[in-house]
């Protein structure tokens, strides 16, 4: 009896200590996983992949926690355009400008691309070329959330890297602009099977990171958005004195570097930065969800993880599709598509040399 009481006390005390570290394991999550992905994909081929990434990102974030936001956004931009296939990581080629050159991607952090390829180099040094850039990006996004104070969660792995990137138009069609209202965001994300709870939860990614003035000055000039708190608007006008100012400001004024539910508290105080953020509180379809996350951080973390798992599996390439890139920004030179174009080029060159 005394033993049982002792154990209960131990559980109570340990749960008090463990409470701040929210963690969802594969067993807790009811999210179905895409065929070809697995929770244990690199168990024998690269068992240390997750620890290598986490250890290195801890170092990176110690120097600059802002990099976490850059990595989280990069994963979102990868997955929404052509699926989570690392296509956003590819440099442009002779065949045309890359996804990176499309307007929504111009404000992605150059350092985020460098961090991913540095992680790729570390992982490939340990295991050989077995882990894809798209999996590394999905793990880096998860660690960005966790190491900024958010939930920890398991990521199903086995994505392969795509051989092509999307055009400018396809990129624009798949990444909604910050000037969209909630109805536009809801219908855009519904095409990817995200419901209103997913939309509100994923928008919570704006609890960390920064934005350039140009993404929200439409709410300040020529007329001030009546849905924006007046003091907040005046402070923003100080940071962005004109519509085309190139300065930046934080997305979540209450705790800009911490992954928490304060973004929703901002929205309830009309201190959301983008129309696409603030309108989630104005629109009756999403207002209640915003409030529920503002008052219950655990609920937000739970829903965010489920939506991230959904986002992280959009149109993934698995099995024999795609490839494992040896350099995240370039398609492998030994790829068949590449060989085909080399052969064509050689034939053309021969034709030219006849003259």
Rule CB under 6 A: which residues touch ligand HEM?
69-70, 72-73, 76, 107, 109, 176-178, 185, 202-203, 205-206, 208-212, 215, 251, 276
Is 252 annotated for ligand binding? yes
| Candidate list 75, 77, 124, 212, residue with the active-site label | 77
Q: Of the two residues 147 and 208, which places its CB atom closer to ligand HEM in the complex?
A: 208
Residue 226 marked in a binding site? no
Please report how close the Cβ of residue 71 comes to ligand HEM at its closest, in angstroms.
8
CA distance 199 to 41: 29
H helices of 247-296, in order, are 262-268, 275-282, 287-295
Instruction: Compute the distance between CA of residue 133 and CA of residue 268 in angstroms, rounded to an integer.
Output: 38
Best CA proximity match to 183, nearest among 196, 193, 170, 171: 196
Q: How far is the CB of 296 from ligand HEM (least distance, A)?
A: 19
Terminal-residue alpha carbon distance, the chain: 98
Mark whether 77 is an active-site residue. Answer: yes
Least spacing, CB of residue 210 vs ligand HEM, in Å: 4
CA-closest candidate to residue 286, choices 187, 173, 150: 187
Neighbours of 6 (CB within 10 A): 10
- Which two structure tokens, joined as six digits, stand for 344? 């064509």
In the numeric block, which tokens belong to residue 121?
């180099």
Q: How far is the CB of 160 from ligand HEM (least distance, A)?
A: 22
Residue 85 counted as an annotated binding residue: yes
Residues 89, 85: Cα–Cα separation, whole Å: 9
Which residue, 236 or 324, has its beta carbon nearer to ligand HEM? 236
Residues of each annotated binding site for Ca(2+): 78, 81, 83, 85, 87, 99, 207, 252, 260
Residues of each annotated binding site: 78, 81, 83, 85, 87, 99, 176, 206-207, 252, 260
Residues of each annotated binding site for substrate: 176
Catalytic residues: 77
């Amino acid at each position: 009896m005394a033993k049982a009481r002792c154990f209960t006390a131990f559980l109570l005390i340990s749960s008090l200590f463990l409470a701040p570290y929210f963690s969802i394991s594969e067993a807790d999550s009811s999210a179905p996983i895409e065929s070809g992905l697995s929770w244990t994909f690199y168990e024998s081929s690269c068992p240390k992949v997750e620890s290598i990434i986490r250890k290195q990102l801890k170092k990176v974030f110690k120097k600059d926690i802002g990099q976490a936001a850059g990595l989280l956004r990069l994963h979102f931009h990868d997955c929404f355009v052509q699926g989570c296939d690392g296509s956003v990581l590819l440099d442009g080629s002779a065949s045309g400008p890359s996804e990176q050159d499309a307007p929504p991607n111009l404000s992605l952090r150059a350092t985020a691309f460098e961090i991913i390829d540095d992680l790729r180099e570390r992982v490939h040094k340990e295991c050989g070329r077995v882990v894809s850039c798209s999996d590394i990006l999905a793990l880096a996004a998860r660690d960005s959330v966790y190491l900024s104070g958010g939930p920890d969660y398991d990521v199903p792995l086995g994505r392969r890297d795509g051989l092509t990137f999307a055009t400018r138009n396809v990129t624009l069609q798949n990444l909604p602009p910050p000037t969209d209202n909630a109805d536009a965001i809801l219908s855009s994300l519904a095409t990817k099977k995200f419901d209103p709870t997913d939309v509100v939860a994923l928008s919570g990614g704006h609890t960390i990171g920064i934005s350039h003035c140009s993404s929200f000055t439409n709410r300040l000039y020529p007329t001030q958005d009546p849905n924006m708190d007046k003091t907040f608007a005046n402070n923003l006008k100080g940071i962005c004195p004109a519509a085309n100012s190139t300065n930046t400001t934080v997305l979540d004024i209450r705790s800009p570097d911490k992954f928490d539910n304060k973004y929703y508290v901002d929205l309830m105080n009309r201190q959301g930065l983008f129309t696409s953020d603030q309108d989630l509180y104005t629109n009756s379809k999403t207002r209640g969800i915003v409030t529920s996350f503002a008052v219950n951080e655990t609920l937000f973390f739970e829903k965010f993880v489920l939506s991230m798992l959904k986002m992280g599996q959009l149109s993934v390439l698995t099995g024999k599709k795609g490839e494992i890139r040896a350099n995240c920004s370039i398609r492998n030179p030994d790829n068949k598509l590449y060989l085909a174009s080399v052969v064509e080029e050689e034939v053309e060159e021969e034709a030219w040399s006849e003259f």
